[in-house]
Amino acid sequence: MNILVVGGHPADMFDHCGGTLYHHIKQGDKVTCASITQGLRCHDEVIYDLFRERNRELSQEEIDSIIKERTEVKYKEVKEACALFGIEDIHFLDYDDEILCVTPQMVSKVARLIRAVQPDLVITHWPYEEDTFSNHHAVTGQLTLAGITAAHGISFEQDAPSWNVAQVAFMISDIDFRGDCFTSCGKLPYMNYYVDVTDVVDLKVKAINIIGSQKYNIPGYAKKTTETWNGVLGVRIRVPYAEGFALQWPEIGKTIPVSEHRMWLAKGDERELLEAISDTRAMDVEL
């Protein structure tokens, strides 16, 4: 299978779905990742802190040079983190994350990428995250859906032939399932697919900790965020750690699938079920 991941910010490419991608790569699937923005304004340690207070003191040349330098730092970290999962084919679309809207130019760029990669499965953000309109993840989800539609159509400008994506999986973050603002009411996703990432959660912790440019190397953070995201999702489906997805299209088969895990869920006694989620990992990973 050929998989394309489209994230809003560079680190999204692995912290939302790295465990799942690891499994796909292990079974021989091809994974390509793309980040829409540089993620500098909302995440970068230097730019976020420095520019909030001191940007009027800096010349345009100094600002450009800082942005260039910080972009390189972030991209280097992200490549290093992605490598832990075996992800090597990484694209940075380099958009500024000051104002992110769905524009024809950006949709066209995503469509071009889809035509070039020819993915069977596209993984992206829930297109209704938080307020739907200004949230970078939500806009990325919308851009990607628009790009998928455009890639399937006829383009007279793009060289590659049109391409139809078979399935879309929205990667569900902790923000998506807790509904923390009024405008997300009624738009929470229903996670209809979980991936058990217990075997790879130590790599997730290590990868998150690499992103020092986003302060993710603050002692305790990588383990805490993994517990409160993948740990919480795991508890829902009774495995220690999981990544949650909402599949865009219904799947089809000759019969109705019921996983072995769900069979076990139905029969497991309370002690067994609680024991299954009590397996805490990655706490002793050295960072």
Please, which of residues 263-282 interact with Zn ion by CB under 5 A? none
Closest CA to 173 of 7, 58, 2, 1: 7
**Nearest-5° Cα angle at 148, 243 to 257:** 45
Q: Which is nearer to Zn ion, 38 or 198 (CB)?
A: 38
The window from 1-9, 110-118, 151-159, 250-258 that contacts Zn ion (CB under 5 A) reads: 1-9
Q: Which is nearer to Zn ion, 12 or 196 (CB)?
A: 12
44 makes contact with Zn ion (CB under 5 A)? no
As to burial, measured by CB atoms within 10 angstroms (0-12 exposed, 13-18 middle, 19+ buried), residue 98 is exposed
Shortest separation between residue 109's beta carbon and Zn ion, angstroms: 18
Q: Which is nearer to Zn ion, 9 or 204 (CB)?
A: 9
Binding residue (CB under 5 A) for Zn ion from 9, 70, 74, 204: 9
Instruction: Please name the residue that has the structure tokens 């995503």.
Output: 110
Whether the Cβ atoms of residue 40 and residue 7 lie closer than 8 Å to each other: no
The window from 2-10, 17-25, 95-103, 218-226 that contacts Zn ion (CB under 5 A) reads: 2-10
Sequence-distant (6+) residues with CB within 8 A of 6 are 34, 36, 110, 113, 122, 123, 124, 125, 140, 143, 144, 147
CA–CA separation, 11 and 9 (whole Å)? 6
Whether the Cβ atoms of residue 134 and residue 180 lie closer than 8 Å to each other: no
Please, which of residues 10-29 interact with Zn ion by CB under 5 A? 12
Q: Which is nearer to Zn ion, 10 or 119 (CB)?
A: 10
Shortest separation between residue 105's beta carbon and Zn ion, angstroms: 21
Cβ atoms within 10 Å, residue 192: 12
Tell me how many residues contact Zn ion (CB under 5 A).
3
Residue of minimal CB distance from Zn ion? Answer: 9
The window from 8-16, 45-53, 58-66, 81-89 that contacts Zn ion (CB under 5 A) reads: 8-16
Tokens of 16: 């939302």
Q: Which is nearer to Zn ion, 12 or 130 (CB)?
A: 12
Q: Which is nearer to Zn ion, 43 or 281 (CB)?
A: 43
Chain positions contacting Zn ion, by CB under 5 A: 8-9, 12
